[in-house]
Amino acid sequence: MIGKVLRGQRPRGLLYYLFGPGRREEHTDPHIVAGWRDPAELEPPLRPGGRRDFRQLTGLLNQPHAALGPRGLRQPVWHCVVRAAPGDPLLSDHEWAELARDIMHRTGLAPHGQDDDAIRWIAVRHAADHVHIVGTLARQDGARPRFWNDYFRVRDACQAAEERHGLRRTAPGDRTAGHRPTRAESEKARRHGRPEAPRVTLRRIVSTAAAGAASEEEFFARACWSAPG
């Protein structure tokens, strides 16, 4: 299960997309499965012509941010897409709602028990394998929310859901993966006639030495032998 966090300026256009047919008519039965209020209260009603009326929902989502005035964020819309892996068992609306509430709790955007004070948010499901969480980054108590490391908190919630529902396990977001070389590092390597940045070379040498060494002494011997002169 993978979660992706995005930011935007206005919820209205995003709501039109989530409740619309999609780019290839792939959206089926879009509906709210969770939110800061009962989903039935938040569901956009149908107009006589069959189209959704988003005015009330958009107004409710925008209200806390509008109250912040100049203290508001330039991109106040927090958008999180959570998708199950191909072949995973299908989750029910209740299970997706449980995951959405856990994400909002872990990120600190809407901790459990703070529905009337934290940010306003909804979770929309319009396909079997994923859900969209949309919130406005302004608390109802008049404060700006704290959401540092929200991506890693979303990852934690996804892993908890994988274990809870027996889904395919994914790697933890523990920040241990190697970083790509910066543009400055790559350009410096080219100026010096090197085929790659030093950090890439070092990572490859260490990985090769670790894979073939049977002891600490052998690891250092292999690493030193492989290091460029």
Report pLDDT digits (tens) over 71-124: 999 999 999 999 999 999 999 999 999 999 999 999 999 999 999 999 999 999
Cα-based angle 45, 82, 114 (whole degrees, multiple of 5): 65
Q: How far is Cα 125 from Cα 216, in angstroms, rounded to an integer? A: 52
pLDDT confidence of residue 30: 94
Confidence of residue 211 (pLDDT cuts 50, 70, 90): low
CA-based nearest residue to 60, from 77, 42, 40: 42
170 is written with which tokens?
A: 């994914």
Task: Summarize pLDDT for 115-171 with one digit per residue, the tens.
Answer: 999 999 999 999 999 999 999 999 999 998 988 899 999 999 999 999 999 999 887
- Predicted confidence (pLDDT) per residue in 44-73, tens digit: 999 998 889 999 999 999 999 999 999 999
The strand ranges marked E within 111-180 are: 121-127, 130-136
Domains of the chain (ranges, CATH numbers): 2-165 (3.30.930), 183-226 (no CATH)
Please return the burial class of 27, using the count of CB atoms within 10 Å of its CB with bins 0-12, 13-18 and 19+.
middle
Q: Measure the CA dihedral 199/204/210/212, to 10°.
A: -160
CA 170 to chain centre: 14
What is the Cα–Cα distance from 227 to 206, expressed in whole angstroms? Answer: 9
DSSP H or E stretch at residue 10:
none
* Closest to 103 in 3D by CA, of 86, 119, 127: 119
